[in-house]
Structure 1
Amino acid sequence: MLRIHYSDYETLRAHGEETYPNECCGVLLGKSVAGEGNHVQQIIRAGNTRTDSAHNRYHIAPQELVKIQRQARGLGLDIVGFYHSHPDHPAQWSKTDFAEAHWLGCSYIITSVEKGKAVVTNSFLLSGTGEEDKNFKDEAIQIDIATDAAGTGVHNQKGQA
């Protein structure tokens, strides 16, 4: 399961709306908790460096990714996933998304943005032991909603926003 704060969830969805009709992309920082999944504590927007087909592909420059990884380490966090949008396309991974996914154990969030509006957000966990047996597994999203001093609210979401 992927656990994320409501504000971060809404921010990554808004990022997809802002970059429409091109894909947005970014990195999820947090911790992987045994038996519980990836807990996102911060999201970092990244620039989509694709110039040939930014409307249906994304790429994060290696230098930017290294900078984000250093930033994460400085905060005591890890890269636990990535996010991107699919303008006018379902929130499902494509063959290209799969081929370019290499971070085993990471969550890959995809938001479908239809006519400029974020509609569906799904997450997929990249599993396996290496490139030869990697696979995407559907991953439930738990959205944490902060409430008052009486406690915290939690909203479980799977596939719909």
Structure 2
Amino acid sequence: MKRLLLTTCCILGAAASQAQDMVSYKAVEPFDDVAFAVESAIVGEGLVVDHVSHVGDMLERTREDVGSDKVLFTKANVYTFCSAAVSRKVMEVDPMNIAYCPYGIFVAELADQPGEVIVGFRQFPDGAMQEVQALLDGIVREAVGQ
């Protein structure tokens, strides 16, 4: 598989319209190639993808049911997984870090920006959870070829 081209790295802040802060990267490869690269990078870390949530499909399937005519995504998935070693480490510091588990990486192609795939994850708080953030950032960077 050819390397994914990283075109932009951005941290979305207050302008993220009431969404939590996140770290995201843009790739110019097709959605399916980027999604495969994300899943491969997770597995490459010795981790198991617990679940793939097909958020884009669900939102499109239910769009009319909730009274909307706006198509949000061409495709959008969230890959959830956990790391026993990293999770134990951060939860030994504070057992309430359980609130952040499992970890998720999203891959999305916005309907109004076809051909542009965004890969990212939510930011984690300072302290022990920065180890999780570094793990996710490494996985995403690997997936986008950086």
Interval containing the TM-score (normalised by the shorter chain): under 0.3
The structure with the greater share of residues assigned to helix is: 2
The structure with the greater share of residues assigned to strand is: 1
Higher relative contact order (CA 8 A, sep 6+): 2
TM-score relative to the length of structure 1: 0.26
TM-score relative to the length of structure 2: 0.27
